[in-house]
Structure 1
Amino acid sequence: MIGTRISHFEIIRLIGQGGMGVVYLAEDQRLNRPVAIKLLPSEVIDDKSALERFENEIRATSILSHPVICQVLDVGTFDGKPFMVMEYLEGASIRQLLRERSFTPTEVLQLAIELADALDSAHEHHIIHRDIKPGNIFLSDRNHPKLLDFGLAKISSELFDISDIGDDTPTKKPVVEDVTDTGVTMGTVLYMSPEQARGEVLDARTDLFSLGAVLYEMTTRVKPFPGETSALVFDSILNKNTSPPSQIGGPSVEMLDKVILKLLEKNPNQRFQSAKALRAELLRIARDQGLQVSSSRYAISVSVPKRVNFLSATIGTLALFAIIALIRFQFHGDSPTFSQPTPEPEANTQVIDETSHAIIPLTTDPGREDTPSVSPNGGRVAYSSSGLEGKNTDIYVKLTQGGNPLRLTNHPDADVHPTWSPDGQRIAFVRKNSKRSQIIVVPTLGGTPEIEVVTIDKNHTITTSLSWLHDSQHIVYERWKSEFDSEIRLVNIHTKESETLVAAPENGGRHYSAAVAPDGRSMAFVRDEGVGNGSIFLFDFRSLTSSQITDEVGHIMG
């Protein structure tokens, strides 16, 4: 393969090879930069499960844009084989480094903060990694981690069913850390959560357990659940408790004892309930230890925090809001196509003391609460919540001034990403399971049957980004047409008639993150014709044409 050209990439040398992928160092001939190209090995190219895993990794990684998650730059096929182009990383995996050296508690704390932030980003997009282990965490030469290999990630809903451990799963096979053969238990046994080992319903907390197992090994250089065979490892994970890391790693590790042991709780309800909560606790530890967290990707240094210039921060924030407001309203005008909405009644006006700003919790319910959406008048918040047991994600609405939440949905599938209509009378959201995606509309006060606006099978799934037209009668959404191509469509919530507004790019790629302007005359969206080559376009509802408004390309989210 050396010297072979794949698209505009020239292969330089082999980096590594495993059962599920061959990775080469290559040069991007257009941009003169090194990249890594991953291809499926010839021996598994006809294996359907291997191909699905490879395509799943492409899909999951392309959805995410985070500095701690390895970036996908391009995808395609070569001689009938799919390939994926990734950023080239210099450094070594945590697994390799553990063979050579120990990690200081401060190093572990810093890496844990960054990894928690990456997991939080993935979980917000309803992507669960399911294979967190030292071999899938890369440490760059600048001591920043990169999370790799989303091949086993589960996409499309926050909760999902798996049967990773079947009757034919070998239980006497010697435990190998990098289990990549097809047909073997999904995920690496040494770092599996108890619920994953039992083949139960999983949620994002399974990743937190696996991260805890990695952090335990980094602080002690001992695996928390050792065993000579898979059966012994499973028994240890399910039935045995680990000793505090400080008993092995020494007193300096004690500051991480409680966090790691909480991550390794057998019962998911007794762990941190989200990666966001984990990160907050790690930042508290850093503060209590006198370690400053830098604004540049959470790098930690021992120093006295600088005082914040309140006036400068305030001016900068106001300037940011002014720019956003200018962009949103520069295309203001009346639309001849759709009627104006009836505005939602104004919320109670309060005088806020500008010297007493504070962040206070809006919800304190058990389970995971996320994807909040504020009503047009600012008086209410819609959000999704997994409830006490974390087995059923539904939509709730709560007043910003307090009180008990109103449960709008009660469905076994995952209801996520609520979006308010401009008149404040309805909420649209995405309902997903492993077989289909739906757009559902409900009244904000309940009492009226749900409207199933769009139903699509798993091969043409709907993303969670919805946007209403200003008439509160139409919704725009992104629909996947194939593994790599998506379009933006418009649907009438009453007639359920839909049409394509922006077709998939001619050369393949995505159109996503559609956002309708307040006046309803235009819609901003992202066109990405190769993963990471996104530009912002503006669609005009009167002329039905699109124009590019940004020249630079890159990963664009929002």
Structure 2
Amino acid sequence: MIGQTISHYRILEKLGGGGMGVVYKVEDTKLGRLVALKFLPKELARDRHALERFQREARAASALNHPSICTVYDIDEQDGQQFIAMEFLDGQTLKYHIADKPLAIDQVLELCIEIADGLDAAHAEGIIHRDIKPANIFVTKRGHAKILDFGLAKLAPERQRAGEVVGVSGLATVDTVEGHLTSPGTALGTVAYMSPEQVRGEDLDARTDLFSLGVALYEMATGKPTFSGNTSGVIFDAILNRAPPPPVRLNPMVPAELERIIGKALEKDRRLRYQSAADLRTDLQRLKRDSESARIAAVAAPLPRGRWLLSLLAVGAAVVMSTIVATGWKLGWFAHHRTSEVAQAPMSVIPFTTFPGRQLLPAFSPDGNQIAFAWGGWSGDNFGIYVKLVGAETTVRLTTHPAAECCPEWSQDGRSIAFMRDLEHGIGIFVVPALGGPARKIYTTHWKWGLFYFTTLSWSPDGKFIAFGDRTSPDEPYGIFLLSLETLQTRRLTSPPSHFTGDYGPAFSPDGKMVAFARNVKEVEDIYVVPTSGGDPRQLTFDGRLLGGLAWTPDGGEIVFSSNRAGGFGLWRVPASGGTPERLAVGGVNAFRPAFSPVGHRLAYSQSSWNENIWQMEIPASAHRTTPPIKLIYSTMQEEGPQFSLDGSKIVFQSTRSGNYEIWMCDRDGSNLVRLTSFRGPLTGTPRWSPDGQQIAFDSRPEGHADIFVIQAEGGPPRRITRD
């Protein structure tokens, strides 16, 4: 049909087709605009039901005028062929965009707000779509949603409110081209998006569309089907009787409020579901507003402009890390009062160390009057174990070995300190008298990640065991082990699945009955707790972010931990029984390794301050000509990994100036900064230009494992290239 003219429409190209229609891009020769024509296939032209559906689609959509609904201009017939003239849309279906991967949360919210707004307009006209699914949602190149295919829509005899019943039977499409689930010889079409009342064949109202949108919303947020199975019977059973896995289990980036919204939209009892699309839209808009207001504002510093014929980009960094003590905590308040209205006791935050270099991993003595920590010394070249009295200036170094040491942990009687030392073959666990003396090795671990990478010791309250991370074979993930100080034998406490990286950072509860630890799954982590007697660990957080240490409150009611769950690393608390984490009022940004004093109401943590900037240096034409480098791209955050485009006009780099690592681009002089990605998750970086300068490849971990993505230099959604 390409090149033919139907009525006053000249057919330019075929856009796609399915069982109920073939769509062409055409030119309206009267108005000089691009239009889409949808033809009813010839084999269905005499099918009364197909013809009714085709005409129903035209009548339903033409009755609506809304930016989130594809506009229908006309329905006509030529030479026995029925066709619908509709708005031409440039883009792809939502199904194409999902492609088994979750969308960015801000994109999920923006699209679903528009879809809900479109449904609200349709419901206000008494029209129920009855076939909402990702294949029937179009996403334009500008990122806007358009509802398509009103072929199953019910035209009510008169306008009805969204919650009123429209007497129609449940129908579902069977589409051999875009079917979501296929068993041998059977295309199940949109069965997976039907509401429970639609499955049961009951009278439907607008709330059926809200359930279907909830199913699509779940899929957008997780990249996985809400209800799945090999046959329609299995899917029907899931829709009627089973709840899908919590979205946060499949995508740790899903906010708790979005999870609540999805759950309400998927209520099997429609009386408990959202009662109108307007209510759903309002909740989504509120979440979008709150999410945007909570983001860390980008810091934009004036950027110098340089003129270089040939230049190099380099990264310069400055680091300061010290130990802080916050005093005046009412620790019992933590476990029993969770609202911000409850007043905290007066609190003071005091720098405990102000030495150069890094002071790490503070640990309180049992009486709360001393802190042991690791420090590289005045020269910064030899990490050892130091002890300092709270309120005093004198610092005592307990160890003088040339190997690096870290992770001090006091015995419960205050007489000894355990620590870890980097050895030639593994990492050793040592014990040294708290007043000084020779250190004694008690165990050698198989830890291979490096001394300061996730290593922590915990001494049990009864003084009998030390918990640590280790493994017995290079082929297995790291687990938590208990070392008996009586027999020096170990017992494995946790055994993570084989595809996990492992467990680390154990901490005994104050009563010694539980151990909290971090579990790493391909570079993202969450907190788990496990009984010291053994058993299955229980997951406590579902953030899928990075952790920087954890500690129990002295009453055992809560766990305080360091996490980048809101951007830079801050201090958070979560009930030991489970719940939503809340941020502490102290710690600020880049706070790590919290530690509580058993008495004295004190909390210690390490606070770091660093930034990395991108500098530009001219490559001299001769050895005698030198020009000092200039700071080109800089802020109070991290600017890293720069690369010039092939023509030298642009620079791409990774930056944390928006709160998390994202890919940014600017002009060669550092001006006109543009953020290209919005993953809002950990570890996005290593940008590299394509040879033609049109695309940028980079790596990111939105699902916890590293994959390669490609994005257009002019912007747009990233495209995944690999799947781990």
Q: TM-score, normalised by structure 1?
A: 0.49
Higher helix share: 1
